[in-house]
C-alpha cells in the first residue's frame, strides 16, 4: 500500500485528529510568517498515556516547485511522564507547535500527525503572498 493511502483527513471542526493549521501573521514576501499547528481545536483530543498525539510534521510546498520543504518534526514525548522523588510531577505534552519561517512565494502548508491509536492524519492550507 502506498504511504499516501495511509493518511486520513477530515474537517477539523468535526474530527479531533486532523491537524489544524493557522496562519498567525499577515503573510508578506521575505517577512517572518508565523504558523501554528494544533490537534483537537474544536473537539479536544485525549492526551493520556493510553491515547495521545506522538508527533506533528510540517512542510511548505511553494507554488510551481516540484518538492516541498520540510519545516520540522515536532515530537511530544511526555505522555504521563514523571520522575520519582519527593516532589513528583506528572507531565503531559500538548500537541501544539508554533513555527516561524520566511518565503518569497505563495504555496501550500501541509501538516501531518500521528495518533498512537488512530494512525496518520494530514491537512493543508493555502498561503497567499
Which grid cell sits at 112? 501531518
Q: For the segment 13-54, what is each residue's pLDDT rounded down to a tens digit?
A: 777 889 999 999 999 998 999 999 999 888 888 888 999 999
Active site residue 128: no
Q: How many helices (H) and strands (E) does the chain have?
A: 0, 9
Active site residue 70: no
Instruction: Calculate mean pLDDT across residues 86-107.
Output: 90
Q: What is the pLDDT of residue 92?
A: 87
- Res 81 pLDDT > 90: no
Question: What does the mean pLDDT of the chain come to?
Answer: 91
- Res 9 pLDDT > 70: yes
Active site residue 17: yes
Active site residue 115: yes
Q: What is the pLDDT of residue 122?
A: 95
Q: Please report how many Cα atoms fall inside a 13 Å half-sphere around the Cα of residue 106, on the Cβ side.
A: 5
CATH number at residue 54: 2.60.40.730
Determine the Cα–Cα distance for residues 27 and 37; give it in Å rounded to an integer: 16
Confidence at 115, pLDDT banded by 50, 70, 90: very high
Phi and psi angles of residue 73, each rounded to the nearest 5 degrees, phi first = -120, 130
Active site residue 126: no
CB burial readout 73-88, b (16+ within 10 A) else e: ebebeebeeeeeeeee
Out of 13, 51, 70, 100, pick the active-site residue. 51
Which grid cell sits at 18? 486532523
Alpha-carbon dihedral sign for residues 42, 35, 24, 109: negative
pTM: 0.89
- Res 82 pLDDT > 90: no
Instruction: Calculate mean pLDDT across residues 100-110.
Output: 97
Percent of the chain with pLDDT over 70: 98
Picking from 60, 53, 66, 67, the residue whose alpha carbon sits closest to that of residue 33 is: 60
Q: What is the pLDDT of residue 85?
A: 65
**In terms of DSSP bridges, do strands 107-115 and 96-101 run parallel, antiparallel, or are they unpaired?**
unpaired
What is the number of domains present in the chain?
1
Active site residue 52: no
Alpha-carbon dihedral sign for residues 45, 23, 61, 99: negative
Structural domain of 52: 3-127
Amino acid at each position: 500500500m502506498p504511504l499516501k493511502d495511509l493518511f486520513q483527513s477530515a474537517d477539523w471542526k468535526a474530527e479531533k485528529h486532523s491537524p489544524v493549521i493557522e496562519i498567525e501573521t499577515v503573510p508578506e514576501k521575505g517577512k517572518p510568517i508565523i504558523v501554528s499547528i494544533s490537534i483537537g481545536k474544536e473537539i479536544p483530543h485525549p492526551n493520556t498515556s493510553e491515547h495521545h498525539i506522538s508527533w506533528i510534521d510540517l512542510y511548505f510546498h511553494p507554488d510551481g516547485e516540484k518538492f516541498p520543504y520540510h519545516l520540522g518534526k515536532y515530537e511530544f514525548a511526555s505522555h504521563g511522564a514523571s520522575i520519582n522523588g519527593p516532589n513528583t510531577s506528572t507531565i503531559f505534552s500538548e500537541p501544539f507547535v508554533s513555527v516561524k519561517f520566511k518565503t518569497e512565494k505563495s504555496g501550500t502548508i501541509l501538516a501531518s500527525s500521528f495518533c498512537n491509536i488512530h494512525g496518520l492524519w494530514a491537512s493543508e492550507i493555502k498561503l497567499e503572498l
